[in-house]
A = this chain, B = another copy of it.
């Protein structure tokens, strides 16, 4: 994999000087076009051997191009805000918006390589990390991002010579950190695991570019050209044609039975049972959130459901159990301008609670496979891939100790009609009913189908859906609270093992 990057590539100064001006102009043009189109972000990953010119090349790119449109980011020590959340959070918060370029030093690859090289974990865990990186990149590309991955390479002999030269140069000796010298000892392991990583993560949509780092002229010109060609190709790409690959239809129910249809909508609680059970479950929840095990976890509750199914009321009963400082309710409506400039999961990643905290989503990332699917706000390819992207997202949350509970509050059409009519009558409830609600109601069957697919494809052991029979509000509220409590208790019980 690295063979052709150890053969001593070089370019003479004259050729270099002759080529650079045109390359610079073309890069600037491409950058400007990127900004004008504001159609996709560019993510440049910088990895490879110490001393192979990573830093110098990034510096040079900032000189050649317009540095005002480039963000160079390092990810060394995590801050305490980052440590309190899933590992990927720090990358999500640093993603460049559409029209800008982010250069990531010390990215996910550096982390997994360091861990493996220093024996923190074995191949199996490395492979998990590789799969995670692959999925993240696949998703980013599907969302339109252009990812360019550079591996700066040196043979072992070249690296030792380079470190020595830098050390002897008083102007540059400060650049050599203890880590660099350490790497000279671990070179073989680093290259071996590097090869494993590159082999598995070099994909059509985000290939690796291995660049020999010995000769600065060669290295710089090589990187500049790859960048330019990648940019030009992406800029020329017809955005409309992008997602029109083959989309396998999900298939429809061939009898009249559906998950939602199979719910027992007559379930109800009488007033006294409700009062008792509500108070009990609320006290239980309050206790669980104060439990010392909660410090290791965060809690995310997702509320979806038919219009007028009682999401707001259920959320209020959950909130009523708690100190308002412990939770945050995030209502999800149409994305803002800043949010539209990012992958669709970005605005949810923003809101992921730190350990010990609780976030309630009033509607959620499932909008993509519900309203966006039904209303045609995104292409079938977009919502089809969302199922697995959401599963990946939730798996990352759960792996980081976040307890994820998801509710679909279901009512039947008759109940909805009654509630709509009631809302139109009562002054302070009028704001809860809009034209949109009546319009959505006409698409009842389409929504039912979308809900069925959503549950089939995203209800998992780690983050199951709870379907809540919500014709009776009391039943629904108690069931919601009890489900949250059981999920927390199960998580705490697992900690003890």
Contacts and interface: CB of A to CB of B under 8 A. Distances in A.
Contacts of A3: none
Given A290-B174, A336-B338, A427-B25, A331 B62 contact: no
Nearest to A326: B72
A218 to B, nearest CB: 21
A413 B32 CA distance: 27
Contacts of A32: 431
Nearest to A175: B323
A63 interface: yes
B316 A67 contact: yes
A274 to B, nearest CB: 17
A170 interface: no
A422 interface: no
A131 interface: no
A294 interface: no
Interface in A289-330: 290, 312, 315-316, 319-320, 322-325, 328-329
A321 to B, nearest CB: 10
A32 B63 CA distance: 51
Interface stretch (A73-81, A159-167, A183-191, A484-492): A73-81
Question: Among A58, A63, A66, which residue has the most Cβ atoms of chain B within 10 A?
Answer: A66
A472 interface: no
Contact of A324 (B29, B59, B66, B325): B59
A68 B336 contact: no
Nearest to A337: B337
7 contacts: A28-B428, A32-B431, A55-B323, A67-B315, A72-B325, A80-B81, A81-B81
